[in-house]
């Protein structure tokens, strides 16, 4: 699959895969300067690229596991959704969940983008839904182990 993209400025870095089997391509900060994020705060980080996600696919922006685990920086919305008709700049809203001030350096890898197929549902209202063993049980109703 080919995903067309456009660099919006000279600081933009082409998304890259960390290994031949990586599901997500790394996105990079294209900020003019390093960005400091205080504990409990969020910063919107520009990538400097716009993408043309193919019809029938969605771009999902996930945390980079090392950045989230080691430094406490992860997307504020947990998973960003890039629809196939969006042509604006990809930006990542990074939340600092650590107790320390964190600095995102220019050209640092900040998140990963996975291109995933999706199904579009038709919603049909019903008076009754089919019965299941689980029923209305939720939030831990299936146990811990």
pLDDT in tens, 96-135: 999 999 999 999 999 999 999 999 999 999 999 999 888 8
Residue 36: inside a domain: yes
The pLDDT-based confidence of 35 (bands split at 50, 70, 90) is very high
Quick check: helix, strand or coil at residue 121?
coil
Q: Which pLDDT tens digit goes with each residue over 41-89?
A: 999 999 999 999 999 999 999 999 999 999 999 999 999 999 999 999 9
Residue 126: inside a domain: no
CATH number, domain with residue 102: 2.70.40.10
**pLDDT of res. 28:** 98
The pLDDT-based confidence of 136 (bands split at 50, 70, 90) is confident
Residue 15's domain comprises 4-117
How many domains are contained in the chain?
1
Record the tokens describing residue 93, joined without a space.
């809203």
Residue 77: inside a domain: yes
Record the tokens describing residue 134, joined without a space.
């689980």
Residue 135: inside a domain: no
From residue 103, give the alpha-carbon distance in Å to each of 14, 60, 82: 22, 24, 25
Residue 17: inside a domain: yes
Contact, 102 vs 44, CB < 8 A? no
Region 16-32: mean pLDDT is 97
**pLDDT of res. 37:** 98
CA distance 36 to 67: 14
CA distance 119 to 21: 24
Q: Which pLDDT tens digit goes with each residue over 52-61?
A: 999 999 999 9
User: What pTM, to 2 d.p., does this model score?
Assistant: 0.89
pLDDT above 80 for 138: no
**pLDDT of res. 51:** 97
Residue 123: inside a domain: no
Residue 66: inside a domain: yes
| Cα angle: 9, vertex 105, 91; to 5 degrees | 50
pLDDT more than 70, % of the chain: 99
Residue 74: inside a domain: yes
């Amino acid at each position: 699959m080919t995903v067309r993209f456009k660099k919006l400025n000279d600081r933009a870095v082409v998304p890259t895969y960390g290994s031949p089997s990586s599901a997500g391509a790394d996105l990079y900060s294209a900020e003019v300067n390093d960005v400091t994020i205080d504990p409990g705060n969020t910063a919107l980080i520009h990538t400097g690229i716009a993408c043309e996600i193919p019809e029938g696919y969605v771009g999902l922006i996930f945390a980079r596991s090392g950045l989230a685990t080691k430094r406490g920086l992860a997307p504020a919305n947990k998973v960003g959704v890039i629809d196939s008709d969006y042509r604006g700049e990809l930006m990542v809203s990074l939340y600092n969940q650590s107790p320390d001030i964190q600095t995102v350096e220019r050209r640092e890898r900040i998140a990963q983008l996975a291109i995933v197929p999706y199904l579009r549902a038709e919603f049909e209202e019903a008076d009754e839904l089919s019965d299941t063993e689980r029923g209305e049980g939720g939030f831990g109703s299936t146990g811990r182990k």
